[in-house]
Amino acid sequence: MLIDTHAHLNFKAFKNDLEEVVKRSLAENVWLINVGSKYETSKKAVEIAEKYKKGVFGAIGLHPIHAKDEVFDKEKYKKLALRSFGEGGKVVAIGEIGLDYDREYGLFKEKQKEVFLEQLGLSKELELPVIFHCRKAHEDLLEILKNNQIHGVIHCFTGKWKQAKEYLDMGFYLGFNGIIYKLDLNEVIKKTPLERILVETDCPYLTPPLARRSPAEKRDEGGRNEPIFVKYIAEEIAKIKNLDFQKVAEITAQNAKGLFRL
């Protein structure tokens, strides 16, 4: 089996065929976590998870690029998490949250930090791991994490080995997706122990090149990514680390089950 630890089936790109996409995924034995980026998409992630008995989970959080268009209402998010606990623990993480200093987002760093810290507080309160989004802000993120005892994954890791090592030394997992085809992350992937790697799609974004030649791509014209394509990420990691695909699938699934208590 494989676990897509970062999907956005809660986004508009899937509004017409959400159920089919989930069905395809579960039929291929790919479990998935839908990750929120604001209150509305967090709520949607929980609603989707509630529909399935097995294999579909949710994460709730306010993404740093939305830190100034939404006032973070901790009680509202907490309610959402608790509602799902009653349904069998479907909210498995707080995320995606973090810091993003790319382009114009760097103009509201302080606001981002404030919202981020409040959400770290929520993750501690609910004893949930965190899915971190970090773009061009690793120094600040590392500084904050040093002072907070938190478990989680640095999703879509794009930093250098030096930063990767710091996260690993602090006990975090690194999440890899289709960005590994665009940026050279071979050194990081080679040096990161398989026991600390999670695979993800970040769908509908970052479609792996192999998936673009599939019937799904022709059907959607734009090459929308989806959870079943997480197999290409596991294959690429297996290639880079010179390991068997099955082993990468098995260990990364175990990692996800351990971190998110699936």
Beginning with the edge strand found earlier in the chain, give each strand of the sheet holding 197-199 in spatial order: 2-7, 30-35, 56-60, 91-100, 130-135, 152-154, 173-176, 197-199
CA distance 232 to 74: 37
Residue 202 vs 226, nearer CB to Zn ion: 202
For the bound state, the minimum distance from the C-beta of residue 47 to Zn ion, rounded and expressed in Å, comes to 18
Q: Which is nearer to Zn ion, 206 or 241 (CB)?
A: 206
Quote the tokens at residue 217.
């791509």
Residue closer to Zn ion by CB (options 4, 202) is 202
Q: 66: annotated binding-site residue?
A: no
Judged by beta carbon, residue 137 or residue 241, the one nearer Zn ion is 137
Which sign, positive or negative, has the C-alpha torsion 161, 188, 205, 133?
A: negative
Question: Shortest Cβ distance from residue 35 to Zn ion (Å)?
Answer: 5
Distance of closest approach, residue 225 Cβ to Zn ion, in angstroms: 11
Give the count of residues interacting with Zn ion (CB under 5 A): 1
Element (H, E) at 219: helix 215-220
Q: Going residue by residue from 195 to 224, which x/- string records binding to Zn ion, judged by CB under 5 A?
A: -------x----------------------
CB nearer Zn ion, residue 167 or residue 241: 167
Q: Any binding-site annotation on 155?
A: yes
Residue 138 is labelled as binding a ligand:
no
Residue with Cβ nearer Zn ion (241 or 252): 252
Q: Which residues contact 201 (CB under 8 A, 6 or more apart)?
A: 4, 6, 7, 177, 178, 225, 226, 227, 229, 230, 233
How near is the Cβ of 1 to Zn ion at its closest, in Å?
22
- Nearest approach in angstroms of CB 6 to Zn ion is 6
CA distance linking residue 155 with residue 145, whole number of Å = 15
| 133 labeled part of a ligand binding site | yes
CA angle 230, 232, 236 (to 5 degrees): 120
User: Per CB under 5 A, which region of 97-105, 113-121, 160-168, 194-202 contacts Zn ion?
Assistant: 194-202
218 Cβ neighbours under 8 A, 6+ residues apart: none
What is d(CA 126, CA 130) in angstroms, rounded to the nearest whole number?
A: 11
CB of 242 to Zn ion, least distance (A): 29
Interacting residues with Zn ion between 104 and 133 (CB under 5 A): none
Q: Which residues pair with 134 in a beta bridge?
A: 99
Annotated binding site: 6, 8, 96, 133, 155, 202
Annotated binding site for a divalent metal cation: 6, 8, 96, 133, 155, 202
Using CB under 5 A, list all residues that contact Zn ion. 202
